[in-house]
Amino acid sequence: MKVVLVLYDAGKHAADEERLYGCTENALGIKDWLESAGHTLVVTSDKDGEDSELEKEIPDADIIITTPFHPGYISKERIQKGKKLKLLVVAGVGSDHIDLDYINESGRDISVLEVTGSNVVSVAEHVIMTMLVLVRNFVPAHEQVMAGGWEVAAVAKDAFDIEGKTIATIGAGRIGYRVLERLVAFNPKELLYYDYQALPAEAEAKVNARRVEDIKELVAQADIVTVNCPLHAGSKGLVNADLLKHFKKGAWLVNTARGAICNAADVAAAVESGQLRGYGGDVWFPQPAPADHPWRTMRNKYGAGNAMTPHYSGTVIDAQIRYAQGTKNILESFFTQKFDYRPQDIILLNGKYKTKAYGADKKV
């Protein structure tokens, strides 16, 4: 079979850490395994546009493996070109770069699987870090000392504690719930969540979180809001100028879910006007982010309030070990025709939705 693997290039960094599996050079550690079994593997980072290597390989590909970090966008047109496609694997979590609705509607016998759980702790830790970085105003303070300066007031005037704040998560699934668990130790005033379904009573009690069913009421009460839901038709552009008006003035917003859940221009305007005190996260649309993306340079009135990084929260080395192994397990199950996939990894099975987050329920 022909397997196409879309990853980012690591260049000189690939040799620094052999467990940096998620780059073209290290190819998820599956190159020898696939080739010794007689399969053909094409590894590329060249993914966008008609002349890209991905586009050229699609007609012959049986399997395409992509990641959320350097997403190989699998559009309707590409699925139509890929007449042999049988399996799409996401080495990581989040299949919004694949036109899932089209596969479902087309009746094509294509399965889409993710490595569910591979990133949850990694992303939850990044959310907590980003909250601390923003609320405590770390970035300007660090830049000050690196530049040889010493001006405490310049950074203290925009720095606070997490303790005593009301913190809300949009989405309380695998990542959102872990964020709530980790926040308990900070003694917040209150933890709130918004989700299409309530947490089980014991889970809610464990983190002492309260569900708010109206998203405008949720954001109106929160000092810090974090987005932890999948991107789909119901969440695209969810955080826009209209919703931002309902935020508490000067709230912080952290989004490590997907860039397209927030309207980029509206968020940048809110940071610059002071409606948001700061915004941070690591997800962008598209990826790689263009050099002029407003989130690269937006600042609040103190020249702070920006905690953006490239999309790496779910691709730290510990996560790479998990998603490389998980991808191999999925491929093995497919090649041996056992199809004994982990149920939680299945997004579409033989062209039909298996998961609520994308399919059956279109709410957040």
Ligand X SMILES: *[C@@H]1O[C@H](CO)[C@@H](O)[C@H](O)[C@H]1NC(C)=O
107 is in an annotated binding site: no
When CB distances to ligand X are compared, the closest residue is 104
The tokens describing 82, both together, are 């890929």
Beta bridge pairs of residue 192: 168, 210
188 is in an annotated binding site: no
- Which of the following is catalytic: 287, 300, 306, 320? 287
Work out how close the CB of 361 gets to ligand X at its nearest, in angstroms, rounded to a whole number.
9
Q: Give catalytic status of residue 119 as yes or no.
A: yes
Work out how close the CB of 197 gets to ligand X at its nearest, in angstroms, rounded to a whole number.
17
311 is in an annotated binding site: yes
Work out how close the CB of 105 gets to ligand X at its nearest, in angstroms, rounded to a whole number.
5
Work out how close the CB of 101 gets to ligand X at its nearest, in angstroms, rounded to a whole number.
5
Residue 47 or 232 having the CB closest to ligand X? 232
Question: Of 135, 95, 129, 97, which Cα lies nearest the Cα of 115?
Answer: 95
| Residues lying near ligand X in the complex (CB under 6 A) | 101, 104-105, 353, 359
Question: Of 112, 211, 124, 224, which Cα lies nearest the Cα of 174?
Answer: 124
CA 136 to chain CA centroid, Å, is 24
| Dihedral angle sign, alpha carbons of residues 172, 177, 182, 187 | positive
- Which of the following is catalytic: 104, 311, 320, 322? 311
278-288 b/e (C-beta count within 10 Å ≥ 16 → b): bbbbbbbbebe
Q: What angle do CA 201, 206, 211 make, to 5 degrees?
A: 55
Q: Give catalytic status of residue 258 as yes or no.
A: yes
Work out how close the CB of 242 gets to ligand X at its nearest, in angstroms, rounded to a whole number.
25
The tokens describing 152, both together, are 């405490």
Using the 8-state DSSP alphabet, how is residue 336 labeled?
T
Name every residue whose Cβ is closer than 8 Å to that of residue 98 and which is 6 or more positions away in sequence. 66, 73, 74, 88, 90, 112
- Which of the following is catalytic: 70, 78, 97, 119? 119
- Between CA 68 and CA 109 the distance in angstroms is 23
116 is in an annotated binding site: no
Residue 98 or 199 having the CB closest to ligand X? 98
Q: Give catalytic status of residue 287 as yes or no.
A: yes
- Which of the following is catalytic: 70, 97, 178, 258? 258
224 is in an annotated binding site: no
Residue 172 or 357 having the CB closest to ligand X? 357
Residue 35 or 105 having the CB closest to ligand X? 105
Helix (H, G, I), strand (E, B) or coil at 139: helix
293 is in an annotated binding site: no
Question: Of 142, 58, 56, which Cα lies nearest the Cα of 98?
Answer: 58
Residue 75 or 208 having the CB closest to ligand X? 75
Binding residues for substrate, as ranges, are 93, 119
Task: Enumerate the known binding-site residues for NAD(+).
Answer: 174-175, 195, 230-234, 256, 282, 311-314
Binding positions: 93, 119, 174-175, 195, 230-234, 256, 282, 311-314
The residues assigned a catalytic role are 119, 258, 287, 311
